[in-house]
Structure 1
Amino acid sequence: MTLPSSPPSSSPLSVHGDRHFDGLADKFAASLYGGVRGELRLALLDRLLPEMLDLRGQALLDVGGGLGQLAGWFAEWGHPVTLAEPSAEMLKRAREALLEASAEREIILLPAPLQALPEQAPGPWSLIACHAVLEWLGDPRAALATLAGLLAPGGQLSLMAFNRDALRFSNVVKGNLQKALDDRLEGKGLRRRLTPISPLTHAQIMAWSAELGLEVREVAGIRVFHDYLRSPPQTDDDRERLLELEWRYCRVDPHWRLGRYLLYTLVRRDTPVSPASSSVSSPTSSSTSLQDQEPL
C-alpha cells in the first residue's frame, strides 16, 4: 500500500493546531517507548486493558495509532483494527512493524487526523482506543467530543491522556519551582522537544465526559512511581520490583492520580450526544477514504 506524503509546511503544527510527528519518528520512538519507561507502559497496558475493557473481538478504531503497538496488541486479541494516523512517516513505521508482527491479522491503515474521522471512519464503533493523543491536540475537548460522536450507544472508549498534575509534580521534584508556580507546563510544539502542548487533568476528563454523555467506568495511572525516581532501575531484579509496585498501586487511590498517564474506560450512554457538542472542524483535503485502504 502506498501512503500519501504530508504536504510541506513551515509550521510543526497542523491547520488544527495539533502536533504531528513527521520527521520525529525516531525521537518519538526513543522518548515514549525506549528504555524502562516504555517497557512499563506496554507491560501495564498488557495487564490493564483486559481488566478495564469488555473485549469480545469487536472491530476497533485506533485513533492516532502512531507506531502501531496498540493496534498490534488488539489484533493479537482477535480484533479487526483500523489504525488512523495523520503522520505519513509514523504510519509507514506502523505498517512495517505490523506486517512483521501481525501478518495474518486484519488491520487497515487510514492516513487521517482525528478531525476527519466522522467522514472517513464514522462507525458507529463499539470499541475505540485513543492513547496519548489528546495532549498533542490544539483543542482536546473538541477531540473528545468527536470520539464520543463516533461511539455506538454502549460503546467503549479506551482513553489514555498525559497527566498535567503529574507533570507539575515532576517539575517540582526536578527543582523547577517557579515554572510550577506559574503553571507553565505545556510545550509549544515549536522545537524537537516532546513536551505535550495540551496536558490534561483528571478533573477536565471527568467534566468533559459528563458533558458528552460518557460514563467513566474505570481509571488507572500509568507509571505512578517510575518518573519520580532519582535514577532508573539498574538490574533486571529492580525492573521486576518496579513493575510489581506499578501494578500493585496503579488503581489505588491516591497513587493512580500521579501516574504520568491516566487510563480511562469511558462508555457512551444510550442517550445521544448533541450535534453542537460533537461538532469539529472539517477534515483536511489530503485525507483518503476508508474504503480506499487495503487490509494489512
Structure 2
Amino acid sequence: MIEPVSPLSPAGDRHFDGLADKFSASLYGGTRGELRLALLDRLLPEMLELEGQPLLDVGGGLGQLAGWFAERGHAVTLAEPSGEMLVRAREHLAGHDVSFLQVPLQALPEQAPGPWALIACHAVLEWLADPRGALATLAGLLAPGGQLSLMVFNRDALRLSNVVKGNLEKAVADRLEGKGLRKRLTPISPLTHGQVEAWSAENDLVIREVAGIRVFADYLRQPPESEADRERLLALEHRYCRVDPHWRLGRYLLYTLERPMHAPQEATP
C-alpha cells in the first residue's frame, strides 16, 4: 500500500505545493481578498517608516506584497519554500526589482542573513509548527532600528467565527487549529495577541503599531454586492481597524515590530 504524501514539511510546517490555485482563490479571490489588499495598501504607509529600504519578504507566496513594495522603490528579496508558488510569483513580478530564494524561514539566517532594515512576514507564522521559534529567527535577521511588518491569523477571531457559524462544540473544546493534512486552508497555528506580545518581548522587539485586518467583513451574513457598499465597508474597516476593541477581532492582526537601536539595559542589583 502506497503511503499518502504529507503536505507538511519535515519540520511540520504547511507548504503549498499543489495548492497554488486554491490558495489564490481562497485568500485573494472575492470581496475578502480584495478588502485585505486594499487595507494593506492604506495601512502599510501609516504603520511603517518607508524610505526605499531593501526588503526581505518571508513566505512571499504569489508575490502580491513583494509587488507592492517593489512598485514603491524597494529592492525586494522574496523567500518562499514552495516551488509552485515561486513560479507564480516570478510570473506576477516580471519586470520588478525582485530576487527569489526557494528556502523555508528556518534557512534564512544562512541564505539571507542581512541584517535587514525592513522585513515583511505576512500570513506565514500560522502555517508553522513552531511560530515562536520562527519569530525569534526573524528577530535575529533585523538590523538595530529595523522594522518587521508581521501579520498573523487571529485565533480569537477564529473562535468567534466558529461560534457565529454554530460550531459550538468546537469552540468550547478550543479545537480551532487545522491539521494541515487535506486541502482545507485552516491554519495549523493560529495565534493570539498575547502570544505575539510575549514572544516579541522575549526577542527584545517593541510593538510600535497594531491593526486588525477585516474586523467586520468576515461576520457579515452576506457580502456587499454593489461597488458603493464595498467602498462603505472599506471605509468602515479602515476607520476602526486600529481602535480598541475592534482591532482585536480582525481576522488577521497586523503589527509593526521594531528592534531598538540599543539593547535594553539590564537592571543593576
SS at match of 2:7: coil
Counterpart pick for 2:216 among 225, 232, 242: 225
Q: CA deviation at 1:193?
A: 0.2
Residue 266 of structure 1 aligns to a residue in which SS?
A: strand
d(CA) in 1 for partners of 2:164 and 2:220?
Answer: 9
CA offset at residue 269 of structure 1? Answer: 2.1
| Pairwise CA distance, 1:270 | 3.5
Note the alpha carbon deviations across 1:115-153, whole angstroms, 9 max, x for none: 000000000000000000000000000000000000001
| RMSD, matched Cα | 1.1
Separation in 2 of the partners of 1:147 and 1:272?
17
State the AA in 2 paired with 1:40.
L
Aligned length: 261
Higher RCO structure (Cα 8 Å, ≥6 apart)? 1
Counterpart position of 1:287: none
Partner of residue 109, structure 1? 100
The whole-number CA distance in structure 2 between the counterparts of 1:12 and 1:98 is: 26
DSSP-derived class of the 1:166 partner: helix
Cross-structure match for 1:68: 63
Q: Distance in 2 between matches of 1:86 and 1:171?
A: 30
**Contact 1:213 1:271 (C-alpha < 8 Å) held by counterparts:** no
2:49 is equivalent to residue 54 of structure 1:
yes
TM-score, length basis structure 2 = 0.95
Which string of whole-angstrom CA distances, capped at 9 and with x for unpartnered residues, describes residues 41-71 of structure 1? 0000000000100000000000000000000
SS where residue 216 of structure 1 aligns?
Answer: strand
Cα shift readout 1:156-184 (whole Å, capped 9, x = no counterpart): 00000000000000000001111000000
Residue by residue over 1:232-270, the C-alpha shift from the partner in whole angstroms, topping out at 9 and shown as x without a partner, is 111111111111110110011100000000000000123
Aligned to 1:91: 86
1:204-229 deviation digits (Å, cap 9, x = unpaired): 00000001100000000000000001
Conserved? CA contact 1:65–1:71, under 8 Å: yes
Residue type matched to 2:223 in 1? P
Structure 2 counterpart SS, 1:159: strand
| 1:59-100 alpha-carbon deviations (Å, 9 max, x no partner) | 00000000000000000110000000000000000000111x
Could you tell me which amino acid in structure 1 is paired with residue 162 of structure 2? N
Query: Is the 1:161–1:263 Cα contact (8 Å) retained in structure 2?
Result: yes
Q: Work out whether residues 249 and 255 of structure 1, in 8 Å CA contact, stay in contact via their aligned partners in 2.
A: yes
CA distance in 2, matches of 1:94, 1:150: 23
Aligned partners of 2:11, 2:138: CA distance in 1, in Å? 16
SS of equivalent residue, structure 1 residue 206: helix
Structure 1 residue aligned with 2:238? 247
CA distance in 2, matches of 1:188, 1:85: 21
Distance 1:92 1:148, change over 3 A: same
After TM superposition, the structure 1 = structure 2 runs for residues 123-142 of structure 1, keeping only pairs within 5 Å, are: 123-142=114-133
Identify the match of residue 15 of structure 1 among 10, 26, 30: 10
Identical aligned residues as a percent: 80
Matched residue SS, 2:25: helix
Counterparts of residues 1-296 of structure 1 (less than 5 Å): 10-99=5-94, 103=95, 105-271=96-262
Q: Hey, what's the Cα distance between the residues in 2 that align with 1:118 and 1:258? A: 33
Read off the aligned partner of 1:247 and give its amino acid letter. Answer: H
Provide TM-score, normalisation by structure 1: 0.87
Give SS of 2:209's match: strand
Q: What CA distance in whole angstroms lies between the structure 2 residues aligned with 1:84 and 1:144?
A: 15
Flag structure 1 segments of 5+ consecutive residues without an equivalent.
1-8, 274-296
Residue 18 of structure 2: SS of its match in structure 1?
coil
The code of the aligned residue for 2:200 comes to S
Match of 2:93, SS state, is helix
